[in-house]
């Protein structure tokens, strides 16, 4: 376990080639703030779970953290039992039991490289868009509810008063299904979304 006190040292520790199973960070760090560290650490450690622990509990902070690459967000004060439960859940989810490559029709997702292609066309996705598509490709041909996506991708309960899942799903669909290509992403009325071959 490495314990460091500023963002620059943390990034150097992630870049030095040693194995790390999990990153837990505070957003208010000297030298490099936590948001910047997330954005720079995610390409270096694409599969490593990253959790934010912070007193900054505004919705804007949570959304920005997830967009920057966080897998979980826990606001202070918190209980040690909840922290350990979330750590165990993250480690289970990233245990390596999922193959590196998934394919649905001509759509291919490479987890380790965080690369997505369709018919040789590179699809550039944000970390959150990638997380949505990665989860959908683990469940091809199965309807996935908005509540499930909120829990799996944002690590928070689905809030019916917000359409954030639908907004991000539209971003994914617009990038995956270009005009003239067979449609792979489908809306399941009253349920959510499904990824399947045309």
- So where are the chain's domains? 7-93, 101-195
Q: What's the rounded Cα separation, in Å, for the pair 139 and 169?
A: 15
- Which pLDDT belongs to residue 168? 94
Burial (Cβ within 10 Å: 0-12, 13-18, ≥19) of residue 135: middle
Query: In sequence order, what are the beta bridge partners of 108?
Result: 103, 117
User: Is residue 74 within 8 Å of 83, Cβ to Cβ?
Assistant: yes
pLDDT tens for 7-18 read 888 888 877 766
User: Is residue 54 within 8 Å of 100, Cβ to Cβ?
Assistant: no
The enclosing H or E element of 91 equals helix 80-93
- In the chain (198 residues long), the average pLDDT of successive 10-residue segments reads 80 76 85 84 79 83 83 84 81 66 91 88 92 89 87 75 89 94 91 87
Q: Has domain 101-195 been given CATH number 3.40.190.10? A: no
The enclosing H or E element of 117 equals strand 115-118
CATH topology of domain 7-93: Rossmann fold (3.40.50)
User: Is residue 112 within 8 Å of 152, Cβ to Cβ?
Assistant: no
Longest dimension (CA), the chain: 52
pLDDT tens for 122-150 read 999 998 899 899 989 988 888 888 888 88
């Amino acid at each position: 376990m490495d314990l460091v006190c500023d963002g620059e040292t943390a990034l150097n520790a992630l870049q030095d080639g040693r194995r790390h199973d999990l990153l837990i960070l505070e957003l208010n760090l000297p030298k490099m703030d936590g948001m910047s560290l997330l954005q720079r650490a995610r390409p270096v450690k694409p599969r490593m779970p990253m959790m934010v622990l912070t007193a900054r509990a505004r919705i804007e902070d949570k959304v920005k953290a997830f967009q920057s690459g966080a897998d979980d967000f826990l606001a202070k004060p918190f209980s040690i039992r909840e922290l350990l439960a979330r750590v165990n859940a993250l480690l289970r989810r990233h245990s390596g039991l999922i193959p590196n490559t998934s394919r649905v029709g001509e759509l291919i997702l490479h987890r380790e490289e965080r690369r997505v292609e369709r018919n040789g066309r590179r699809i550039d996705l944000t970390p959150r868009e990638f997380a949505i598509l990665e989860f959908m490709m683990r469940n091809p041909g199965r309807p996935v509810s908005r509540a499930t996506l909120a829990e799996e991708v944002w690590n928070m309960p689905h809030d019916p008063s917000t359409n954030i899942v639908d907004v991000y799903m539209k971003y994914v669909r617009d990038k995956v299904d270009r005009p003239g290509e067979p449609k792979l992403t489908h809306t399941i009325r009253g349920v959510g979304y499904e990824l399947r071959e045309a």
